[in-house]
Amino acid sequence: MSFPTPGQPVRGSQSGNHIMALFDLLGRSWAMGIIWRLKEGSCTFRVLQERCESISPTTLNKRLKELTTALLIERTMEGYALTKKGEELFDLLKPLEGWAKEWARHFKTQ
């Protein structure tokens, strides 16, 4: 399982530019969606799978391992949960929601 480590060559940067490492991590299917859904509260694998509506267990498992290695997710007694870092990242993604709502208006007439 290739994990984009900051400081190592990643997609977009041979020198492992931090932001490119992050983009490499988040730019994989479901990565941001999982963080978003986990913010609703810690939960089990299956519940998380349902929250995501259509993710395959293969992909969910892979993403969970990557995000855990990335210190964004951890396992607790309640199941999978966002770490402090994960929460921080969520807070940075949160503003995208309002923007996305505005952005969506451009596609309404289709």
Tokens, residue 103: 């952005």
For a copy of itself, the binding residues in 20-59 under the rule CB under 8 A are 20-23, 26-33, 36-37, 52-55
Please report whether residue 1 would count as binding a copy of itself according to CB under 8 A: no
In this chain, which of 1, 18, 57, 81 binds a copy of itself, going by CB under 8 A? 18
Q: Is the Cα torsion angle 62, 66, 72, 73 positive or negative in sign?
A: positive
Letters for 59-88 (x = contact with DNA by CB under 7 A, - = none) are: x-xx-x--------------x---------
Separation CA 69–CA 66 (nearest Å): 5
Rg (CA), the chain: 15
Separation CA 95–CA 17 (nearest Å): 24
Instruction: Pick what 110 binds: a copy of itself, DNA, none; C-beta below 5 to 8 Å, kind-dependent.
Output: a copy of itself
